[in-house]
Amino acid sequence: MVMEKITIFDKTFKTYIPYDEFIGDIDRVAEELNRDYSGGDDIPIILCTLNGAVMFCAELMKRITFKCEFATIKVSSYSGTQTTGVVQVKQPMLCDVTGRRVIIVEDIVDTGYTMKLMKSYLSEKGAVDSRICTLFYKPESYRFKDVINVDYIAREIQNQFIVGFGLDYNEIGRNLKDIYILDE
């Protein structure tokens, strides 16, 4: 059952994308990953960005058919409904990526500052390749189109603040199955 409106702290959100509408997007992205990573001699690393990408990554992992290793990293750039423009690694990854291919699994690519940091971080750690896989992508706000490719996109969305399915407003709302948009 989809809730039409929800309130989190001082903000009201309305239904934007029901789960049943975007689950097919996850199926499609998993098929693309399976096509691109199956049959290789190496074992790529699925790097889940905490906390937001947990639900997307879990759904994606159920559909991946190639051998892979799983790791996490915690990065943050948001305060309330706005990005601060400053990305911090709050919990580094615990695996060695030297000579490995890495698939960065992200909940949403907005301005791209987090992905810029992640690509640089993985390169410094010795990854031979890193690709970005995101549930949601905001092309209007992405600032690195000519520099950093977003390789796997489940769904493009408007440049508006959303919560649900791992995405939060001040750490609340991640558990919601559907995606909600600010009701202004």
- As annotated, the active-site residues are 110
Half-sphere exposure of 37 (CA within 13 A, CB side): 28
> What is the CB neighbour count within 10 angstroms for residue 76?
18
Cβ-Cβ contacts under 8 Å for 8 (sequence gap 6 or more): 163, 169, 170, 172, 173
Note the helical H segments in the chain.
19-37, 54-63, 113-124
**Contact present, 48 and 57 (Cβ < 8 Å):** yes
Name the residue with tokens 């092309």.
139
Residue partners of 31: CB distance under 8 A and separation at least 6: 63
Spatial distance between the Cα atoms of 78 and 41, rounded to a whole number of angstroms: 38
